[in-house]
Amino acid sequence: MDILGTVNHKIIHGDALEVLRKAVEDNSVDLIFADPPYNIGKNFNGHLDKWDKDEDYLNWCYEWLDLCIQKLKPTGSFYVMTSTQFMPYFDIYLRNKLNILSRIIWSYDSSGVQAKKYFGSMYEPILFCTKDKNNYTFNSDDILVEAKTGAKRKLIDYRKTVPTVYNSEKVPGNVWDFARVRYRMDEYENHPTQKPIALLERIIKASSNEGDLVLDPFLGTFTTCYVAKELGRNTIGIDLQEDYIKIGLRRLQLSTEHKGVKLLKEIRSFETEKLATANNLKLFEEPDGKRIHRKH
């Protein structure tokens, strides 16, 4: 286990189970967002997200779910994701230990693979749970969205004692439409399951306050800690892969180098073309097949 970053923004390179057990105090965290491997065969930098048996995956999940509960403050909130096929097990497991307040659907516009012989998956489930069903943070005013019904058509609600116009804003329901992170988006990082900034903004604004501690045991591209830091929260983030730890150090602007190597964002293919055009460069192929940009 390697603890990097600062006192307010700890980045821990290591296994989530070990780090949660040894490096995070019990009852100390205000908000946990956990987006683990889904056991569906994604490739995390050479580590295949697939367990031999479903039971093995679930038993591993039950271990870190219990640890997350142990680390949460009595007023804390827990958001957890997994694949559609495993979420029912999480739900049944957690409903005896926490209060499940919302079963959220993150719905998106296109699936990675266009299914032709079945209905493609266009959503991922999220559970929103609290330790105490009456005493928890929920900043509804910070996450209001446009109410698209009566207010838009300037209708008057005559059912009220004094007729009034409909509210133009409302607290979002449990179906959330956010685009998936795509290669051409500014926030894109090289990771197979990066979650959008907008999704984490809603969760962190609703369920934590400035100065609170936010923890993510499976950080990937560090979306959670990046957004939490921008919003003035303190953070602890964990990931097993050093390449993802390097993304975190750079994205949170905690370091410009790691082990003597500069932390630079990978330039995407369309950006090299843009840069070359701006610098009046042309693409040439060397005799050995190598491609280079040159003036002439």
121 alpha-carbon distance from chain centroid: 19
- From the list 121, 209, 241, 255, which residue makes contact with ligand SAM (rule: CB under 6 A)? 241
- From the list 32, 72, 218, 246, which residue makes contact with ligand SAM (rule: CB under 6 A)? 218
Q: Does 213 bind ligand SAM (CB under 6 A)?
A: no
Residue 232 to residues 105, 204, 236, Cα–Cα distance (Å) = 27, 10, 13
Distance of closest approach, residue 155 Cβ to ligand SAM, in angstroms: 40
Distance of closest approach, residue 192 Cβ to ligand SAM, in angstroms: 8
- From the list 11, 16, 58, 65, which residue makes contact with ligand SAM (rule: CB under 6 A)? 16
Distance of closest approach, residue 295 Cβ to ligand SAM, in angstroms: 39
Burial class (CB in 10 A: 0-12, 13-18, 19+), 213: buried
Distance of closest approach, residue 193 Cβ to ligand SAM, in angstroms: 4
Distance of closest approach, residue 51 Cβ to ligand SAM, in angstroms: 11
b/e burial code for range 40-66 (CB count within 10 A of at least 16 → b)? eebebeeeebeeeeeeebbebbeebbe
DSSP, collapsed to helix, strand or coil, labels residue 278 as helix
Q: Does 246 bind ligand SAM (CB under 6 A)?
A: no
- From the list 76, 125, 220, 248, which residue makes contact with ligand SAM (rule: CB under 6 A)? 220
HEC string of 41-59 equals CCEECCEECCCCCHHHHHH
Q: Does 39 bind ligand SAM (CB under 6 A)?
A: no
Residue 4 or 276: the one with the smaller Cβ distance to ligand SAM is 4
Q: Does 15 bind ligand SAM (CB under 6 A)?
A: yes
DSSP, collapsed to helix, strand or coil, labels residue 110 as coil
* Alpha-carbon span 254 to 64, nearest angstrom: 27
Using CB under 6 A as the criterion, which residues of the chain lie in contact with ligand SAM when the complex forms? 15-16, 35-37, 44, 191, 193-195, 218-221, 223, 238-241, 244
